[in-house]
Amino acid sequence: SWPWQVSLQVRPRGSKYYVHVCGGTLIHKNWVLTAAHCFQNWRIVLGKHQLKRAESHFRYPAHSELDYDIALVKAATDIQSSNFIHYACLPRKQINLKPGHYCWVSGWGDTRGGKENVSLAEALNQAQLPIIDYKTCRQKKFWGDHVRDSMICAGFRDTEGTPAACQGDSGGPLLCQVGRDRWEVYGIVSFGPIGCTVENKPSVFNRTTAYIPWIEATLPVTYTNKDMYRKD
């Protein structure tokens, strides 16, 4: 249902198998948008059979991963679109999402909210989360000064039976619908509470619009108000 959703996987030392660790978003034929704290020597998995190894990755030039938890991963070969694989759209302009506006988070992260044993989902999951305004999320009983103005908070105050981004969802997209058929990546899953659903501790995302200039400087394309075009 989310054809741009990426699984970033790592092979543990001594193992023959790769395991999912973080999510990501395909935004170009060989570029994946994810969280900086996620990336190691992983491979990129899209669709049912197509596997691509990462060629390199570019992290936002900053000293703090909390402040600038964003990275671009370049695949070694092009990833062609198909019936199951598409490129996600980045926001066309700076838009402040209104509190209560619902967006979607997707990933293979833990659905049980375990504090110790993480149980990754076998199938891609999705959940609608309401946007929480910045001032509320900056309150001490929420996240306080851990939340910067380059971040978005989304989730529920009530923890009973409510969804949230969880371990394994990091790096994945916060998708908001713009118009009838356009979905834009407004956020990148960054952090949340241990256990995933904790009162007054919503999921926190890096706000994509804060990094559009850096993304454009790194990718071989430039995003315009209508579409994107190649720099060369």
Q: Report, as residue numbers or ranges, the catalytic residues.
A: 37, 69, 170
On whether the CB atoms of residues 30 and 221 are closer than 8 A, the answer is no
For residue 57, what are the β-bridge partners? 73
Tokens representing residue 188 in the block: 């990148």
> How far apart, in whole angstroms, are the C-alpha atoms of residue 155 and residue 49?
33
φ and ψ of 210, to 5 deg: -70, -15
Q: Is 119 exposed, middle or buried, given 0-12, 13-18 or 19+ CB atoms closer than 10 A? A: middle
Tokens representing residue 205 in the block: 């995302």
